[in-house]
Structure 1
Amino acid sequence: MQGDQASIVAGAINFVKELEQLLQSLEAQKRRRAQLTSTPPFAGFFTFPQYSAGAGAGTADGSGDAESRRGARPGVADVEVAVAESHASVKVLAPRRPRQLVRMVVAMQCLGLTVLHLNATATADQLVFYSFSLRMEDECRLSTVDEIAAAVHQMVAEVHAGGPC
């Protein structure tokens, strides 16, 4: 009888220890999820975006990502452009859509922007990060970072809205 009680108590102690480990694991997962949702993917890649899907929106604590969103206009995607002489660097973080990249490259060519190099990285939550290295051809009528950012933002907005191919 005494042995049965001891094994029951030992079993209960082991069960409580397992519950404590499970609780710690769940708390760690909760912290990881909170960090992931408060920091958008690729947030570190944008210094001063001209457009931001998160502009004006805050995180759960209301703070927002002020460093990377300062001065950004609201939009359907994060768009940041830097220009040096006749070359432009364009970064875009947008919801993934069918034929989006092809349509953007064609639209850039129509504007006199030649794609020299591009990187595309998809995330698990249906976002895609594009990084373009562009040459501004002589016929390109866009000359400032704001003009290029507005044109790229408009491209993404048209694809997002399901505009004509």
Structure 2
Amino acid sequence: MATGTAVAWSWTEAMPTAAPPLRAPKPRKAAASASGAAGRRKRRRARSVKNIEEAESQRMTHIAVERNRRKQMNEYLGVLRSLMPASYVHRGDQASIIGGAINYVKELEQLVQSLEAHRHARLRDDCPVSGDVDSAAAVPFLDFFTFPQYTMSVRHAPATPAAGALADDGGGNAADDDTTSGSKQSAVADIEVTIVESHASLKVLSRRRPTQLLRIVAGLQGHRLAVLHLNATSAGHMALYCLSLKVEDDCRLSSVADIAAAVHRILETIEREEEEERRQQQSCT
């Protein structure tokens, strides 16, 4: 019995000695996990620091670019202001300078048109015979049009035989569609329209008629085209109208061709009504 007791005690005594090797790996795993977490935190800190540095660098670059842009804009505004008479700029802010420049350019445009009218009158007086006057003297303001959508002049028509054949419909009749220059032949006016964003520039050269300009402006407003600036110059029996237009949001005329066609219809209506009135007067007499 004593020996059995000793064996039992020896077995129970061996259990505590065998347990530590089973729990020994746990501290090593915890240490490895702690070192891995520390490494990840370091990498995250490095990435965050790098992102902060990149964001700061981008911000400083943007500030420098914006500073240079404002400096250049102020220099240009100063030059623009120096080119205008002082009466056109009431304040020194950007809006006043640009608005004054617009008015100044419009007045210069009016002056150029007036000088062209005087030149045409002088040429007409010097060359009373129509055969001695070139097309520029016979019809004033032709040089003010570059690519008109409608034209009364042969200057924009095809000059070569091949181009003339293209303008013919194949049956010996001239086509009513666009010529090779992109201009449609018109019996009432030269019309040129250009558009930049929501602003349009309109030039009309036609025969002088009573209340014609008033009806053009009213027709444009009916199409939701607001008139911002207007210059009118006459030379002999011809009149040149230059208008700056604001295309309203609800305007249905979305292209230069649409605006030119609308203006051409207005002038055709004026021409037709004038002819009817003339016939009525002749019938009464």
Report the TM-score, using the length of structure 1 for normalisation.
0.68
Q: CA deviation at 1:56?
A: 7.8
Aligned counterpart for 1:105 among listed residues 214, 217, 222: 217
Total equivalences in the alignment: 127
Contact 1:119/1:132 (CA < 8 Å) preserved in 2? Answer: yes
Q: CA deviation at 1:71?
A: 2.0
Higher RCO structure (Cα 8 Å, ≥6 apart) = 1
Instruction: Confirm or deny that 1:77 pairs with 2:176.
Output: no
Q: CA deviation at 1:35?
A: 6.4
Aligned counterpart for 2:240 among listed residues 129, 133, 141: 129
Superposition RMSD in Å: 2.7
Query: Do the aligned partners of residues 34 and 99 (structure 1) sit closer, same or farther apart at CA in structure 2, a change above 3 Å counting?
Result: same
Separation in 2 of the partners of 1:120 and 1:30?
Answer: 26
Query: Residue 45 of structure 1 aligns with which residue?
Result: 144
Alignment-mate amino acid for residue 147 of structure 2: F
Report the TM-score, using the length of structure 2 for normalisation.
0.41
Question: SS at 2:273's partner residue?
Answer: coil
Alignment-mate amino acid for residue 184 of structure 2: R
Query: Residue 30 of structure 2 aligns with which residue?
Result: none
Deviations 1:108-133 (A, max 9, x none): 00100000001000111x11000000
Aligned counterpart for 1:151 among listed residues 219, 244, 262: 262
Q: CA deviation at 1:37?
A: 3.9
**Structure having the higher Rg:** 2
Aligned counterpart for 1:90 among listed residues 192, 195, 202: 202
Separation in 2 of the partners of 1:114 and 1:36?
Answer: 39
Separation in 1 of the partners of 2:269 and 2:155?
Answer: 22
Query: Do the aligned partners of residues 119 and 35 (structure 1) sit closer, same or farther apart at CA in structure 2, a change above 3 Å counting?
Result: farther
Separation in 2 of the partners of 1:109 and 1:131?
Answer: 15
Q: CA deviation at 1:162?
A: 1.6
Higher strand proportion, which one? 1
Indicate the percent of aligned positions where both proteins have the same amino acid: 44
Question: SS at 2:203's partner residue?
Answer: strand
Contact 2:204/2:241 (CA < 8 Å) preserved in 1? Answer: yes
Question: SS at 2:232's partner residue?
Answer: strand
Contact 1:50/1:80 (CA < 8 Å) preserved in 2? Answer: yes
Instruction: Confirm or deny that 1:141 pairs with 2:240.
Output: no
Query: Do the aligned partners of residues 34 and 101 (structure 1) sit closer, same or farther apart at CA in structure 2, a change above 3 Å counting?
Result: same
Query: Residue 47 of structure 2 aligns with which residue?
Result: none
Query: Do the aligned partners of residues 35 and 146 (structure 1) sit closer, same or farther apart at CA in structure 2, a change above 3 Å counting?
Result: farther
Aligned counterpart for 1:116 among listed residues 215, 224, 228: 228
Query: Residue 61 of structure 2 aligns with which residue?
Result: none
Separation in 1 of the partners of 2:227 and 2:143?
Answer: 23
Question: SS at 2:250's partner residue?
Answer: coil
Alignment-mate amino acid for residue 243 of structure 2: F
